[in-house]
């Protein structure tokens, strides 16, 4: 069966992340990806989750507590500042990251991710990622401002040197209403 977008995003990460890795949820939102990452890296690994909205931080911490998951640190800051929040020994084990872009469902639709901070964070993460580490971007672009972010990101990833990075595009090209799609970047060396 062809996997849906969120299922495939998790599938890609579960294939590349190993137990004990450090991973980043760049946009915690309601915490779905954080919980998934927390279970995937296991008790020796650690998740660093970021969001700029307090509501998202509260939801994500609640989700983790309900599932009794203790290997995650949830940070109320932009993902572009990730470097200031992750200890060096954890950073050397950085195995993956997910960016679920757009706005927080059920919340203020004007608080959206934007290409400037997304690309800043991606550049930093790519430079610290382990060999074969993976960044997965789930790109929602139907909202106001979403199209611009999509175009900037497509341009940015298309220029990444193929010697060092594999870049994957995964999406359903016959779906109506601007469906989300995935960009995944794997560090080869
Ligand atoms: C589509 S939602 C994420 C959904 C989430 N992954 C989940 O599983 O529920 C996008 C989130 O990105 C957050 N966001 C926007 N700009 C951000 C930034 N610069 N740094 C971190 N989070 C940001 C928004 O507040 C929003 O909660």
Where residue 27 sits, what CATH number does that domain have? 3.40.50.150
- Decide: 75 in ligand 1 pocket, CB within 6 A: no
d(CA 2, CA 122): 27
How far away, in angstroms, is 113 Cα from ligand 1 center?
7
Closest CA to 11 of 2, 21, 20, 23: 2
Q: Give pLDDT, residue 31.
A: 98
d(CA 28, CA 129): 20
What's the average model confidence in pLDDT over 111-120? Answer: 97
Total number of domains in the chain: 1
- Decide: 60 in ligand 1 pocket, CB within 6 A: no
- Decide: 117 in ligand 1 pocket, CB within 6 A: yes
Q: Give pLDDT, residue 131.
A: 97
Confidence of residue 76 (pLDDT cuts 50, 70, 90): very high
Query: Does 121 have pLDDT greater than 90?
Result: yes
Share of the chain above pLDDT 90, in %: 97
What's the average model confidence in pLDDT over 135-160? Answer: 97
d(CA 141, CA 120): 19
- Residue in 9, 13, 28 to alter for ligand 1 test, most ligand atoms within 8 A of Cβ: 28
Query: Does 35 have pLDDT greater than 90?
Result: yes
Strand partners, 138: 100, 182
Q: Give pLDDT, residue 111.
A: 95
Confidence of residue 44 (pLDDT cuts 50, 70, 90): very high
Q: Give pLDDT, residue 108.
A: 86
Structural domain including 49 reads 5-187
What's the average model confidence in pLDDT over 92-97? Answer: 98
Confidence of residue 141 (pLDDT cuts 50, 70, 90): very high
The tokens describing 63, both together, are 């989700």
Confidence of residue 74 (pLDDT cuts 50, 70, 90): very high
What's the average model confidence in pLDDT over 87-116? Answer: 95
Query: Does 81 have pLDDT greater than 90?
Result: yes
The tokens describing 41, both together, are 């890296």
């Amino acid at each position: 069966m062809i996997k849906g977008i969120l299922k495939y995003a998790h599938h890609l990460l579960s294939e590349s992340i190993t137990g004990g890795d450090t991973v980043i949820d760049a946009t915690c939102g309601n915490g779905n990806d954080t919980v998934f990452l927390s279970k995937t890296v296991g008790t020796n690994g650690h998740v660093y989750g970021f969001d700029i909205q307090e509501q998202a931080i509260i939801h994500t911490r609640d989700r983790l507590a309900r599932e009794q998951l203790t290997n995650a640190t949830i940070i109320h800051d932009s993902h572009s500042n990730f470097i200031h929040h992750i200890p060096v020994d954890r950073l050397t084990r950085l195995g993956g990251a997910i960016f679920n872009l757009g706005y927080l469902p059920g919340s203020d639709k004007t608080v959206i991710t934007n290409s400037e901070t997304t690309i800043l964070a991606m550049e930093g993460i790519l430079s610290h990622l382990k060999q074969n580490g993976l960044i997965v971007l789930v790109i929602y672009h139907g909202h106001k401002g979403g199209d611009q972010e999509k175009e900037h990101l497509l341009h940015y990833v298309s220029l990444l040197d193929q010697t060092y990075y594999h870049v994957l595009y995964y999406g359903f090209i016959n779906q109506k209403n601007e469906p989300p799609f995935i960009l995944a970047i794997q560090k080869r060396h």
